[in-house]
Structure 1
Amino acid sequence: MNWTLEVVIVPVSDIDRAKQFYAEKLGFVVDHDTVMGDDIRIVQLTPPGSGCSVVIGKGAVPAMEPGSVQGLQLVVPDIRQAREELLARGLDVGEVQVIGENPRPMPHPLDNVGFLFFADPDGNGWAIQQISDRA
């Protein structure tokens, strides 16, 4: 089973400097730079060919102290199998949750909307999402 990391929140002190570094020095694609008033700005950048993006910003980005990182996400093709594997390893993980609705038919009813949630020993929050087939 493939388990892929999809999003990592990266704390920065200067959003423009960080955006320039990731985009120009590393060649990341700027997916979006969203400003919502004076207090919130979110920039998402993705390495070429990667399924994992980094997010930098202010206002909606949690402080980076142990236990403060929320939103780390893994993707698996079978959320129920993933849950069983985690439970077998002794991880306290909740039930599969359905969040939202698919805008079009999917190969499996849990694709895109099936999630599991758990925390690491520090309280950093993780999500696991089912995506069995990518278009």
Structure 2
Amino acid sequence: MALTNLEVISVPVRDPERARLFYAGALGFTVEIDSFDGGMRWLTLRPPGSGTAITLVTWFETMPAGSLRGAVLGCDSLEQTLAELAGRGVAFLEDEIQEAPWGRWKTFADPDGNAWIVQQTNPDFGRAGS
């Protein structure tokens, strides 16, 4: 047995349609699955170029809407990405870019309060001699 990938992250939301509009419109995710089955809406979106998708969920009692924290979206140019997202209405939780040895980032929340990090990773972090 071997685990091969991180396939899906469940994102708890109140209103799947409102969340779909945010993730597809403001963040540019692609809708891959949008279907109703057994009285539940199954809605899966994927960030461009990502191997991991998200599923917008309403049915996990242990995951109330807005409880996701610490999910990280990577980018090549933090300033450019932040400007593009702000232009699409994404509001960031910090005024200033945060910095650490591993990279630079800012945090935003989706309409339900799920907190996401947009990060540009330091490519030299953790390498010998850095």
**TM-score normalised by structure 2 residue count:** 0.46
Could you state the TM-score of these two structures normalised by the residue count of structure 1?
0.44
